[in-house]
Chains A and B, each alone.
Chain A
C-alpha cells in the first residue's frame, strides 16, 4: 500500500474553492434587484425550459448559477422544505432565512466533505416583505457561507464587475421598468468593456411582486409583456396586465408556476 501524499488542510480547501469558483465562472450571470413593489430576477438564459430562477414559496424565490443538475437538486430540496414547513405549521412560518440556513448547511457539508467534490453553484434566496425595508436577499456561495445582501446582487461568471456596476447605479425606490433596464445594462457589459445587446428571447425574468393579490407573489415575465417593459420601461404595464388576468393564471405559461389561489382564506 502506498502512503498518500501529505496535503495541508489549507491547501486542500484552497484547491476545492478554486475548483468550485472556476466552475461557476464559466456560466452566465444572474442579477437580483430590489424595486419599489418587490424584487426582480434577471438571468441571461436562452432556454425556456431549464430555469435559473424559480418559485420556492409564497414570497420566496430562488436564483442560481453553476452546474444545472446540482442547483436543480438544491431547488427541489428547497421546495420540499418550504412546502413541508408550510403544511406542518403555517404558510407564514416559511422564511427565506430558514431556507438560506438549510442551503448553507447543505453546501457547507458538501464543501468540507473529502469524499465529495464541492458543488459548483452559487445561490440567491430572496423574500419579498410587506415593504421594501422588509425584503431579504441572501447570497450563498459554494462553500456554505451566507451573505446578507441589500439593494442589488450579482452571481456568476462576471459577478464582481456586474456588482460594482449595479452598486454605483442602483437606488432605493426604483420602478420595475427602471430596475429591469439597469439589470439588463449590467448583464450586457462583457469582460473587456464592450457591450452586447440582450433581447427578450435571451433573458429569463421573474418578479416577486408584493402588490399581487394572490398569495403566491412569484411571477415570470414572458413574451410581449417583457418586450414591452424592456422597450419603454413602463412599469404600469405589469400591474395593468396582472389585473386583467383574474385569478393570476399566467395564461401564457405552460411551465410557469406563478399562479396561486387566494380566495380560500
Chain B
C-alpha cells in the first residue's frame, strides 16, 4: 500500500480443542515489511484464569487491546465477586474489536483468537473474530494470521476427535511449523537461540503456559522427525 506506515505485524495463531480443554499457541515473529522486527515477541496472553487470547494484526494496538481486556475481566471479577461466563468474555472482546473499526479501515486492524475453558459446560471452546467484531465459534480447531492458511491445511489433515492434551500440543506445533515453512511473516522454532512457540493450555485447572523446557521438548521431537521427512506427517490418500 502506498504511503502506508510500516508497523510490526504478521503472525500465526492456532487453537485446538481436546478432551479436557483447549490449546492455544502462537509463533514468535513480528515483521515490518520485509524486516524481522522482533524474533521473540509474545502473541498469546492469558486473559484471565480460564481464558487466553492470541493476537494477529497491528502489534501495538493488539497488545493494548489485550491489556484492557485483561483489566476488564479482573475488574469485573473483583467488583462482582464472580467471574464472567466464557460467552460474556467473548462478547466483550467483540465490542472491543468493533471499537477499533476506524483504525482497521486505515490498515491498522487487530484480529484476535479467543480460547477458554467453559466452566459451565465443562469444555474448551474457541472463538474467532473479523475486524467488525463479528464473532464465530470454531469447533475443533482454528487458525488466524498471515500463516493461517498453511496452518489450517495442516490442522485439517491432522486433527481428530478425542485428542489428548499432549497430542493437541504436538498438533499445534506441527501446524505452526508448516505455517513458518511457507509464510515468511511467521517464525519457525529457532533452536539456536532457544526461541520456541508460545504454547498454552487451558483446562479445568486453569491457564498454563508450557515452560521453556516443555516447549523445547515438543519442538525438538517434531524437528527430529522433519529431518527425515521435511514436509511432516502424511495423511491417508483416500
Taken residue by residue from 244 to 265, chain A's Cβ proximity to chain B (1 for < 8 Å, 0 otherwise) reads as: 0111110100111101110110
Taken residue by residue from 47 to 84, chain A's Cβ proximity to chain B (1 for < 8 Å, 0 otherwise) reads as: 00101001110000000000000000000100110010
Total A-B residue contacts, Cβ distance less than 8 Å: 67
**How far in angstroms is the closest Cβ of chain A from B199?**
11
| Residues in A whose Cβ lies below 8 Å from that of B207 | 247, 261, 263
**B209-A264 in contact (CB<8A):** yes
**B205-A83 in contact (CB<8A):** no
CA distance A49 to B81 in the complex (A): 9
* Residue B140 CB within 8 A of the other chain: no
Interface stretch among B9-17, B70-78, B168-176? Answer: B70-78
| A87 with B67, Cβ < 8 A, contacts A255-B81, A259-B206, A263-B208 known | yes
**A56-B78 in contact (CB<8A):** yes
Taken residue by residue from 203 to 215, chain B's Cβ proximity to chain A (1 for < 8 Å, 0 otherwise) reads as: 0111111000000
| Residues in B whose Cβ lies below 8 Å from that of A87 | 67-68, 71
| Residues in B whose Cβ lies below 8 Å from that of A255 | 81-82
Number of interface residues of B (CB under 8 A): 26
**B75-A249 in contact (CB<8A):** no
Taken residue by residue from 32 to 72, chain B's Cβ proximity to chain A (1 for < 8 Å, 0 otherwise) reads as: 00000000001001111110000000000000000110110
**B77-A257 in contact (CB<8A):** yes
| Residues in A whose Cβ lies below 8 Å from that of B204 | 249, 251
CA distance A80 to B72 in the complex (A): 11
**How far in angstroms is the closest Cβ of chain A from B59?**
15
Q: Kindly identify which residue among A246, A257, A261 contacts B81, using a CB–CB cutoff of 8 Å.
A: A257
**A83-B74 in contact (CB<8A):** yes
**A246-B206 in contact (CB<8A):** yes
**B48-A83 in contact (CB<8A):** no
Closest to B117 in A: A249
Within residues 172 to 207 of chain B, which ones have a CB less than 8 A from any CB in chain A? 200, 204-207
CA distance A116 to B193 in the complex (A): 64
CA distance A56 to B78 in the complex (A): 7
**A261-B49 in contact (CB<8A):** yes
| Residues in A whose Cβ lies below 8 Å from that of B67 | 87
| A249 with B205, Cβ < 8 A, contacts A51-B81, A79-B79, A255-B82 known | yes
| Residues in A whose Cβ lies below 8 Å from that of B45 | 264
CA distance A261 to B50 in the complex (A): 9
Which of B42, B67, B207 counts the most A-chain CB atoms under 10 A from its CB? B207
**A54-B209 in contact (CB<8A):** no
**How far in angstroms is the closest Cβ of chain B from A206?**
12
| Residues in B whose Cβ lies below 8 Å from that of A55 | 78
| A83 with B206, Cβ < 8 A, contacts A51-B81, A249-B50 known | no
**B200-A263 in contact (CB<8A):** yes
CA distance A263 to B205 in the complex (A): 14
CA distance A210 to B191 in the complex (A): 36
Taken residue by residue from 71 to 112, chain A's Cβ proximity to chain B (1 for < 8 Å, 0 otherwise) reads as: 000001001100100110000000000000000000000000
Taken residue by residue from 199 to 237, chain B's Cβ proximity to chain A (1 for < 8 Å, 0 otherwise) reads as: 010001111110000000000000000000000000000
**A79-B208 in contact (CB<8A):** no
Taken residue by residue from 135 to 170, chain B's Cβ proximity to chain A (1 for < 8 Å, 0 otherwise) reads as: 000000000000000000000000000000000000
**B206-A249 in contact (CB<8A):** yes
| Residues in A whose Cβ lies below 8 Å from that of B82 | 254-255
**How far in angstroms is the closest Cβ of chain A from B94?**
21
CA distance A83 to B71 in the complex (A): 7
Closest to B66 in A: A264
CA distance A9 to B194 in the complex (A): 71
**B208-A249 in contact (CB<8A):** no
| Residues in B whose Cβ lies below 8 Å from that of A79 | 75, 78-79
**13 extra interchain contacts, Cβ-Cβ under 8 A, other than A83-B74, A245-B206, A263-B46?**
A51-B81, A80-B79, A246-B205, A247-B208, A249-B205, A249-B206, A255-B82, A257-B77, A259-B77, A260-B49, A261-B48, A261-B49, A264-B46
Using a CB–CB distance below 8 Å, which chain B residues touch chain A?
A: 42, 45-50, 67-68, 70-71, 74-75, 77-79, 81-83, 200, 204-209
Ranked nearest first, the 6 interchain pairs of A and B with the lowest CB-CB distance are A247-B206, A261-B46, A263-B209, A249-B206, A259-B49, A255-B81
What are 16 A-B residue pairs whose CB atoms fall within 8 Å in the complex? A54-B78, A56-B78, A79-B78, A80-B75, A80-B79, A87-B67, A245-B206, A247-B205, A247-B206, A247-B208, A248-B49, A257-B81, A259-B77, A261-B46, A261-B70, A264-B209
Using a CB–CB distance below 8 Å, which chain A residues touch chain B?
A: 49, 51, 54-56, 76, 79-80, 83, 86-87, 245-249, 251, 254-257, 259-261, 263-264
